Structure 1
């Protein structure tokens, strides 16, 4: 799922933390970040999301159920996504 913006980062991380499987952020530069890692969440992800309009980001979930949770979060918060 491609994303353009995450405006409520704490709520987004709550959803990520509730996921059972692996959730990763893929950047346009080819970086693959484990979003379930607190280190990634607190040290780098907030900066990436704050500049999201300039980046091509994609969220990948290993479990279909987790992908549905993330999709529901983006729809509920009216975030821009592309499946």
Structure 2
């Protein structure tokens, strides 16, 4: 399932939710392709390239299980 997440201000809480997901969670890159956000290296890369001015404005995420999609939707609804 493709999700658009907006206004992420707490990266620790965001990656905590990502790490709880059962399947792959992929960040769609603007240049094309994707990065597996469950990889620690990818998480550090994402923090360095996407995180600026205290928050992430918008991310396009793809999940591969319904439960992971629900987990991320709940995170966005409930806040960090």
Q: TM-score, normalised by structure 2?
A: 0.80
Consecutive unaligned residues in structure 1, runs of 5 or more: 79-83
Q: TM-score, normalised by structure 1?
A: 0.78
Runs of 4+ in 1 over 2 A off after TM superposition: 49-53
Q: Which has the higher helix share?
A: 1
Q: How many residues align?
A: 75
Matches within 5 A, 1:1-83: 1-42=3-44, 44-47=45-48, 48-50=50-52, 52-53=56-57, 57-77=59-79
CA RMSD of aligned residues (A): 1.8
Per-residue displacement from partner, 1:3-43 (whole Å, max 9, x unpaired)?
Answer: 2332110011111111101101002221301000000112x
Consecutive unaligned residues in structure 2, runs of 5 or more: none
Q: Which has the higher strand share?
A: 2
CA positional deviation for 1:46: 1.1
